[in-house]
Amino acid sequence: MAGMTLCSVCERQVRGKAKVEGGASTSTVDGATTTAAAAAASEACALCFGTLNPQFVARVAADVGRAVKNDFYDVKDFVLSLNMPVSLILREEIVKMRDDLGFAGTLASVPFRIRAIDAYIGALYEATGLRPTKCSNLNLTITFCNDEFLKPDCDFLLDHFPDEFIMPAKKMRLAEPPPIESLLTKVKVLSIASRLQADVAKKFNFETPTNNCVSSFELSRDPIFLAGRYCKFSRNLPQSPWTADDHAGSGIVGGSVSEQVCQFLKQKSLADVTRFTASGREDIDVRMLGEGRPFAVQLVNPRKKLPEWSTIEQEINRTFNDIRVSFLRQVTRAEADILKIGEEEKRKTYTALCYSSKRVDPVMLAALQNKAPLELKQKTPVRVLKRRPLIERPRNIFQMHALPIDDHHFQLRLTTQAGTYVKEFVHGDFGRTRPSLADLIDPESEVDILELDVEMVDLEWPPGNITAQQPVPNGLAK
Partner 1 sequence: MVECAISSHRSSLDRNFTRFSPQDATDEDASFLAHPSGVIVVILSTRHPALAKTINQVDFNVNKKKHRGVDRSQQTVIGKGKKGGLQLLPVTRLCLIKCADGSEYPLRAGVKGTLIEVNDRLLTEPTLMQTSRENKGFIALIMPKGNETKDMVNESDSL
Closer residue to partner 1 in complex, CB, 389/464: 389
Q: Is 379 in the site for partner 1 (CB under 8 A)?
A: yes
Closer residue to partner 1 in complex, CB, 22/249: 249
Q: Is 252 in the site for partner 1 (CB under 8 A)?
A: no
Q: Which of 290, 428, 462, 475 binds partner 1 (CB under 8 A)?
A: 428
- The footprint of partner 1 on this chain (CB under 8 A) covers a number of residues equal to 30
| Shortest spacing between CB 399 and partner 1, in angstroms | 23
Closer residue to partner 1 in complex, CB, 374/450: 450
Closer residue to partner 1 in complex, CB, 166/405: 405
Q: Is 382 in the site for partner 1 (CB under 8 A)?
A: yes
Q: Is 199 in the site for partner 1 (CB under 8 A)?
A: no
Cβ atoms of 47 and 15 within 8 Å: the answer is no
**Alpha-carbon gap, residue 102 to 198, rounded angstroms:** 15
The residue among 194, 177, 184 whose CA lies nearest residue 156 is: 184
Judge whether 30 counts as a catalytic residue. Answer: no
Which helix (H) or strand (E) is 69 found in, with range?
Answer: helix 54-69
Q: Which of 449, 458, 463, 467 binds partner 1 (CB under 8 A)?
A: 449
Amino acid in position 50: G
C-alpha torsion sign, points 172, 178, 181, 184:
negative
Q: Is 247 in the site for partner 1 (CB under 8 A)?
A: yes
Q: Is 398 in the site for partner 1 (CB under 8 A)?
A: no
Is the bond preceding residue 462 a cis peptide, omega within 30 degrees? yes
Cβ atoms of 347 and 366 within 8 Å: the answer is no
Q: Is 450 in the site for partner 1 (CB under 8 A)?
A: yes
Provide φ and ψ at 162, rounded to 5°. Answer: -60, -30
Q: Which of 306, 353, 364, 368 binds partner 1 (CB under 8 A)?
A: 353
The residue among 459, 229, 258 whose CA lies nearest residue 342 is: 459
Closer residue to partner 1 in complex, CB, 136/234: 234
The residue among 101, 98, 85, 86 whose CA lies nearest residue 200 is: 98
| Shortest spacing between CB 387 and partner 1, in angstroms | 6
**Alpha-carbon gap, residue 217 to 305, rounded angstroms:** 23
Q: Is 173 in the site for partner 1 (CB under 8 A)?
A: no
The residue among 377, 257, 271, 266 whose CA lies nearest residue 317 is: 257
Q: Which stretch binds partner 1 (CB under 8 A): 89-97, 243-251, 341-349, 453-461?
A: 243-251
DSSP 240: S
46 has which bridge partners?
Answer: none
**Alpha-carbon gap, residue 117 to 477, rounded angstroms:** 55
Q: Is 318 in the site for partner 1 (CB under 8 A)?
A: no
Q: Is 37 in the site for partner 1 (CB under 8 A)?
A: no
Q: Which of 385, 399, 460, 474 binds partner 1 (CB under 8 A)?
A: 385
Q: Is 233 in the site for partner 1 (CB under 8 A)?
A: no
6 has which bridge partners?
Answer: none
Catalytic residue among 77, 147, 283, 322, which?
Answer: 283
Amino acid in position 181: E
Q: Which of 330, 448, 456, 472 binds partner 1 (CB under 8 A)?
A: 448
DSSP 177: P
Q: Which stretch binds partner 1 (CB under 8 A): 27-35, 242-250, 319-327, 331-339?
A: 242-250
Residue 41: count other Cβ atoms within 10 Å of its Cβ.
Answer: 9
Residues that bind partner 1 (CB under 8 A): 245-249, 353, 355, 379, 382-390, 405-406, 409, 423, 427-428, 430-431, 446, 448-451
Q: Which residue numbers are catalytic?
A: 283
